[in-house]
Chain A
Amino acid sequence: MPGITREEVAHLARLARLELKDEELDHFAGQLDDIIGAVARVSEVADQDVPPTSHPLPLTNVMRPDVVRPSLTPEQALSGAPAQEQQRFKVPQILGEE
Chain B
Amino acid sequence: MADLIKLTAAETAAKIAAGEVTAVEVTEAHLARIEAVDEKVHAFLHVDREGALAQARAVDAKRERGEKLGPLAGVPLALKDIFTTEGIPTTVGSKILEGWIPPYDATLTKRLKAADVVILGKTNMDEFAMGSSTENSAYGPTGNPWDLTRIPGGSGGGSSAALAAYEAPLAIGTDTGGSIRQPAAVTGTVGVKPTYGAVSRYGMVAFSSSLDQGGPCARTVLDAALLHEVIAGHDELDSTSIDAPVPPVVEAARNGDVKGMRIGVVKEFSGEHYQAGVMQRFNESVELLRELGAEIVEISCPSFDLGLSAYYLIAPSECSSNLARFDAMRYGLRVGDDGTRSAEDVTALTREAGFGAEVKRRVMLGTYALSSGYYDAYYGSAQKVRTLITRDFEKAFEQVDVLVSPTTPTTAFPIGERADDPMAMYLADLCTIPTNLAGNAAMSLPCGLAPEDGLPVGLQIIAPAMADDRLYKVGAAVEAAFTARWGHPLLEEAPSL
Contact = CB atoms under 8 A, between A and B. Distances in A.
Within 8 Å by CB, do A and B touch in the complex? yes
Contacts of A54: 210, 383
B337 A83 contact: yes
Contacts of B210: 54-56
A28 B331 CA distance: 28
A57 B365 contact: no
Given A50-B388, A53-B386, A13 B103 contact: no
Contacts of A46: 376-377, 380-381, 384
B240 A55 contact: yes
A48 B337 CA distance: 50
Q: Which of A14, A50, A62 has its CB near the most chain B CB atoms (within 10 A)?
A: A50
Interface string B339-362: 101111111110110010000110
B292 to A, nearest CB: 31
Contact of A50 (B343, B361, B384): B384
Contact of A39 (B240, B313, B355, B360): B313
Contacts of B465: 57
Interface residues of A, number: 56
Contacts of A51: 384, 387
B242 interface: yes
A72 B434 CA distance: 39
A17 B101 contact: no
A94 B196 contact: no
Nearest to B439: A56
Contacts of B330: 80-81, 89
Contacts of A93: 342-343
Nearest to A84: B330
Contact of A38 (B239, B339, B423): B423
A8 B320 CA distance: 16
Contacts of A19: 345, 348-349, 351-352
Nearest to A72: B103
A17 B376 contact: no
B361 A45 contact: no
Interface string B178-207: 000000000000000000110000000000
Interface of B: 100-104, 196-197, 210-211, 236, 239-240, 242, 306, 308-310, 312-313, 320, 324, 327-334, 337, 339, 341-349, 351-352, 355, 360-361, 363-365, 367-368, 371, 376-378, 380-388, 390, 422-423, 437-439, 465
14 contacts: A12-B364, A12-B367, A18-B363, A20-B360, A28-B361, A28-B364, A35-B312, A36-B368, A38-B312, A40-B378, A62-B240, A89-B329, A91-B346, A92-B343
